Amino acid sequence: MPKKMKILVTGSSGLIGGIVIRALGEKYDFYGLDRVRLKGGPDIPTSIADIYQYDQIKSAFSGMDAVLHLAADASQVASWESVSHNNLVPTYNVFEASREAGVRRVIFASSNHAVGMLELEGAARQIRAGKYETLDHRRIPQIDDMVRIRPDGFYGISKAFGEAMGSYYADNFGLQVACLRIGTVTKENDPTTNIRMRATWMSHRDMAHMIDRCLAVGSLHFEIFYGVSGNKWRFWDTSHAMRFLGYSPRDNAEDHY
């Protein structure tokens, strides 16, 4: 049997960390990095450290095959102060520690909010407002990975920053980098709790599946993927993830409406 890949998960006690570690815990050897040990958090070896402090987190990267960087202030309305402390410096620290430790691949939890302002235009605007009458779902323009950055807040800016950092580490150091512009993942995993999720829902199992594909895919330089389930009314392009990663979502918000 081939040796399991060793994966360091930053923010391992968070929502997505829990989903991924539960779903893929048999296939990969997960290690955690978090600032506190949460009761009921995933049962994996976890380094407790302040990710803002490079020297505190450095050793956790040693011997890892890949890093899943989830740690962040994940609120889309996070303040500048929080974002600069929790998202900017830590993201540099993670890429730099990965490079220094010889980690091959980093999966960065970016966000759709890096281009969130695009939702206020065109078909996406109509869909967000629940006005489907004049739309053919097969013809909704898909926001793809090549559009210009249009962040809708400091949180989105911090994610665009992380993507730029990842691009540099890929181009300059050969680190393999996948950035996931993740849609709406909620604890309840129920797409009917707000109307926007009819387009933007990312189910737990599709989230875990996408991360599995990012870890398993053979060749990777630098790519940006939208992390969204196969929702009928989605306005983010999934064709790139489907072709490149073999991403094959099983959920569709429409089945719950």
Contacting its own copies within 45-84 (CB under 8 A) = 80, 84
Segment lying near its own copies (by CB under 8 A), choices 20-28, 55-63, 126-134, 152-160:
152-160
Among 30, 154, 225, 247, binds its own copies (CB under 8 A): 154
Q: What is the C-alpha to C-alpha distance for residues 163 and 171, in angstroms, rounded to an integer?
A: 12
Q: Does 150 bind its own copies (CB under 8 A)?
A: yes
Which residue numbers are catalytic? 155
Q: Is 6 exposed, middle or buried (0-12, 13-18, 19+ CB in 10 A)?
A: middle
Cβ density class 46-78: b for 16+ within 10 Å, e for less? bbebebeebebbeebbeebbbbbbbbbbbebeb
Binding characters for its own copies, 188-217, by CB under 8 A (x = yes): ------------------------------
CB of 172: closest distance to its own copies in angstroms?
Answer: 7
Q: What is the C-alpha to C-alpha distance for residues 129 and 240, in angstroms, rounded to an integer?
A: 26
Segment lying near its own copies (by CB under 8 A), choices 7-15, 60-68, 124-132, 155-163:
155-163
Among 14, 151, 191, 227, binds its own copies (CB under 8 A): 151
Q: What is the CB neighbour count within 10 angstroms for residue 190?
A: 13
Q: Does 165 bind its own copies (CB under 8 A)?
A: yes
Q: Does 153 bind its own copies (CB under 8 A)?
A: yes
- Secondary structure in 3-state letters for 79-139: CHHHHHHHHHHHHHHHHHHHHHHCCCEEEEEEEHHHHHHHHHCHHHHHHHCCCCCCCCHHH
Sheet of 222-227, strands arranged across? 46-48, 29-34, 6-10, 66-69, 105-111, 176-182, 222-227
Q: What is the CB neighbour count within 10 angstroms for residue 133?
A: 6
Q: Tell me which amino acid residue 21 is.
A: I
Segment lying near its own copies (by CB under 8 A), choices 100-108, 162-170, 194-202, 249-257:
162-170
Q: Does 164 bind its own copies (CB under 8 A)?
A: yes
Nearest in space to 33 (alpha carbons), one of 17, 18, 11:
11
Among 57, 64, 78, 88, binds its own copies (CB under 8 A): 88
Q: Does 254 bind its own copies (CB under 8 A)?
A: no
Q: Does 237 bind its own copies (CB under 8 A)?
A: no
Q: Does 156 bind its own copies (CB under 8 A)?
A: yes
Q: Does 117 bind its own copies (CB under 8 A)?
A: yes
Residues in touch with its own copies (CB under 8 A): 80, 84, 88-89, 92, 96, 114, 117, 145-146, 148-154, 156-157, 160-161, 163-165, 167-168, 171-172
